Amino acid sequence: MREQEPLTVVEQAERRRVGAVVLVLFAVLALVASYFFWKYYADTPVDYADINDHFKYGSIGSEPANGVPYWIWKVMPDMFPEKLPQRGGRGYENFGLIQEPGRDTPVGFSVRRVLVDRVGMNCALCHTGTVRDTPQSERRVIAGMPANKFDLQAYARFLYDCAKDPRFTADNVLTAISARAKLGPLDRLAYRLAVYQTREVLIEQARRTAFMDSRPDWGPGRVDTFNPYKSLQFNFPMEKDHTIGTVDLPVIWRQRPREGMQLHWDGNNTSVIERNKSAALGAGVTPPSIDNERLKRIEDWLWDFPHPAYPYPVDEAKAARGEPVYQQHCASCHSFDGALVGKVTPIEEIGTDRHRLDSYTYELLSNQNTSYAGYPWRFSHFRKTNGYANMPLDGVWLRAPFLHNGSVPTLRDLLEPPEGRPKEFFRGYDVFDQTKVGFVSDVAEERGVKFFRHDTQLPGNSNAGHTYGVTLSPEEKDALVEFMKKL
């Protein structure tokens, strides 16, 4: 065989040039591919160094499965203002959401890029509220307290109503986006596809949660914890389930001493971490999408996160008279060192509205303990109980309305026999009542903004039961309330 002749100097140079061009082309293609992967496919959350900001705006993993594409979410109030509650705010503020200056989203919403930027819910949505000293005062935003003004049900219904509207089309949505931002060609294409996907997902969610229309409305600061869970997580046929599970949103500070207590209103779990992951599912997380690293940042912070101290004057002499009353009538169930704190009181004894207890069924329990199957954190602590758990009362001044279903507006009202408690009152007002300890509840509207009327005669809304302390004298009751301001 004839040997191959050696390459000339010119041929060698040409080969090196071609090789260099090929390498450059591969590098460019790799950079382009990386750019498009990062821009359109990478799972990239917006992170915050400050833990307070992370709690309010950081991702826990709800966006990939249940997030709404950012610009679609942004323009929904622009496109459908007539579907918003008329509560004197701008856009999503009308649902009682907290819009802090300079922030792109209200408290409780995170942004994460999954193909496009998506808006999801996080812990702060239900656990950050506001307080005013007077109607003329500025609102104070307080992390960890119940979201006393936020109407989650009204917010969900708004999204569903937008998706069902025939005007919710790709052309109309893109036109609305164009009034706010200029999208590139690929972004426009991505959003055109996202409109269809968003519409279908929201309409399906509306179908699965249509059972809500046959039950009393939740109102601000409340949620039916487990009935939407049954439908959205496990696809239960809700036409056969007529239970009502509406409860007040709880506080979430100082979690360390709560570990091992019976948690949730009915005490159905003793693991704080498992309870947190259950709540994350309610916020839109799925087992594959949960962001354990970022959720753990919040969990670590909440172990010892303190409640804010009562900020108003306290009559110390009256409070001193109230302390022994508290120790005799309340401490065993509601102090951290109480013998019964964190334990369930049977429904026959506590006598409060049993609807929430009955809504947590054995069927749900058996399904719920399969959640996160295949992961080390698969649920194993959920149990069915026969009553309601005795909660510690740290920061009780921020927990109104009271009882598990929020049916008693103030602490002072709770010390009256059930027949002497308000049969109707208004929720969603954040002006504080320093005398009765709670939020002002006899104001129907403020500057044209109407508040939610809570009717205790409706199913699930009863203010019966918890008759402890009702036989005390008026002076003892007033002293007890004064002392409890300091808890």
Q: Is residue 22 part of a domain?
A: no
C-alpha 123/C-alpha 126 separation (Å) is: 6
H/E segment holding residue 247: strand 246-248
Q: What is the pLDDT of residue 447?
A: 87
**Residue-number span of the structural domain to which 159 is assigned:** 40-313+354-391
The dihedrals phi and psi of 455, each to the nearest 5 degrees, come to: -105, 110
Q: Is residue 436 part of a domain?
A: no
Question: Rg for the chain (alpha carbons), in Å?
Answer: 27
Q: Is residue 434 part of a domain?
A: no
- Span 235-255, pLDDT tens digits: 999 999 999 999 999 999 999
Q: What is the pLDDT of residue 87?
A: 80
Q: Is residue 460 part of a domain?
A: no
Q: Is residue 209 part of a domain?
A: yes
Q: Is residue 347 part of a domain?
A: no
Question: Long-range contacts of range 139-145, CB-CB < 8 Å, 24 or more positions apart?
Answer: 139/98, 139/430, 141/98, 141/100, 141/107, 142/308, 142/398, 143/52, 143/55, 143/56, 143/305, 144/251, 144/252, 144/253, 144/302, 144/305, 144/307, 144/395, 145/251, 145/307, 145/395, 145/398, 145/399
Q: Is residue 193 part of a domain?
A: yes
34 pLDDT tier (thresholds 50, 70, 90)? very low
The count of domains in the chain is 1
- Please state which of the ranges 26-40, 279-293, 337-351 shows the lowest mean pLDDT: 26-40
Q: What is the pLDDT of residue 24?
A: 56
pLDDT value at 39 more than 60:
no
- Span 95-132, pLDDT tens digits: 999 999 999 999 999 999 988 999 999 999 999 999 99
All residues at 6 or more sequence positions from 219 whose CB lies less than 8 Å from its CB, including other chains: 151, 153, 427, 428, 452, 454
Q: What is the pLDDT of residue 158?
A: 98
pLDDT value at 368 more than 80:
yes
pLDDT value at 5 more than 90:
no
Q: Which two tokens stand for residue 109?
A: 């919403």
pLDDT value at 15 more than 90:
no
- Span 201-214, pLDDT tens digits: 999 999 999 999 99
Q: Is residue 273 part of a domain?
A: yes
469 pLDDT tier (thresholds 50, 70, 90)? very high
pLDDT value at 32 more than 50:
no
